[in-house]
Amino acid sequence: MRRYTLYAVAVAAVVALFGLWLTAPWRGAGPRDATATLQAPSIGGPFTLTATDGSTVTDQSYRGKIMLVYFGYTTCPDACPTTLNSIASALAELGPLADRIQPLFITIDPQRDTRAVLADYVKAFDSRIVGLTGRPEQIAAAAKAYGVYYAPYKTADAPDGYLMDHTSVVFVMNEEHRFVATFTQDTPPAQMADRLRRLIAKTS
């Protein structure tokens, strides 16, 4: 009997403590904070890839720079050129501030996008955009870090018989390479430039 009372007190104490914890002011704003701390670090991470000049690059190669990370492929006629165009326009609008930014175009179609093809492609938009390729497993690892999906879609009408389905999102990573925002192909360049200007003002 006494033992049961002891149990009851213990259970009551645990319940009470849990209640206190739930209502505790140090828990902050609740779900919003939880999102910020739980989700933000899940986008981005280390990668090892090859630049168009053949050199090996990692995320650390761009340390201290804001990264714009975009995955695509050069045979893509619509989404990729539209997005890269917008990035190029935003860089132009930023003027010298663009030096703080490193845009990366990572191919998800290394079979067709050789270093030469990739180099020609990115420089047509802006010479500051770096084209990256790599071994299939390196690209897969980079894509996984950014939560990027890609898969071939076979169709006889496409060049070489396939198109690529892929996540078409620009990931904005701050100078510490923490995820801060996304742009899409619908984001007007002026809006991209504004967002980047604010990010630069915050970190300088």
Partner 1 sequence: MLRSIFLAALLTVAGVATTAAQAPTVNVEHAWARATPGGAKSAALYMTLVNKGADDRLVSVSTPVAGKAEVHSTTTENGVMRMRPVEALDVKAGTSTTLKPGGYHVMLTDLKAPLVAGQSFAVTLTFENAGKIDVTATVEKLGAAAPGAMPGMKM
* Residues of the shown chain interacting with partner 1 in the complex, contacts defined by CB under 8 A: 74-79, 81-82, 85-86, 88-89, 92-93, 116-117, 120-125, 149, 153, 155, 157-159, 163, 165-169, 182, 184-186, 188-190
Q: Give me the least distance between CB of 187 and partner 1, in Å please.
A: 10
Residue whose CB is less far from partner 1, 175 or 193: 193
Nearest to 76 by CA among 108, 51, 102: 108
Q: Give me the least distance between CB of 8 and partner 1, in Å please.
A: 49
In which element (H, E) is residue 82 found?
A: helix 79-94
84 vs 72: CA distance, rounded Å = 10
DSSP state of 158: S
Q: Give me the least distance between CB of 82 and partner 1, in Å please.
A: 4
Residue whose CB is less far from partner 1, 116 or 201: 116
Size of the chain in residues = 204
Contact 59, 45 (CB under 8 A): yes
**φ/ψ of residue 75, rounded to 5:** -80, -5
Q: Give me the least distance between CB of 135 and partner 1, in Å please.
A: 21
Q: Give me the least distance between CB of 117 and partner 1, in Å please.
A: 5
**φ/ψ of residue 66, rounded to 5:** -70, 130
Q: Give me the least distance between CB of 155 and partner 1, in Å please.
A: 6
183 vs 170: CA distance, rounded Å = 5
Place of tokens 């893509």: 76
Residue whose CB is less far from partner 1, 69 or 175: 69
Strand order in the sheet with 66-72: 56-58, 48-51, 130-133, 101-107, 66-72, 170-173, 179-183
Residue whose CB is less far from partner 1, 166 or 175: 166
Residue whose CB is less far from partner 1, 62 or 73: 73
Residue whose CB is less far from partner 1, 11 or 92: 92
Contact 39, 130 (CB under 8 A): no
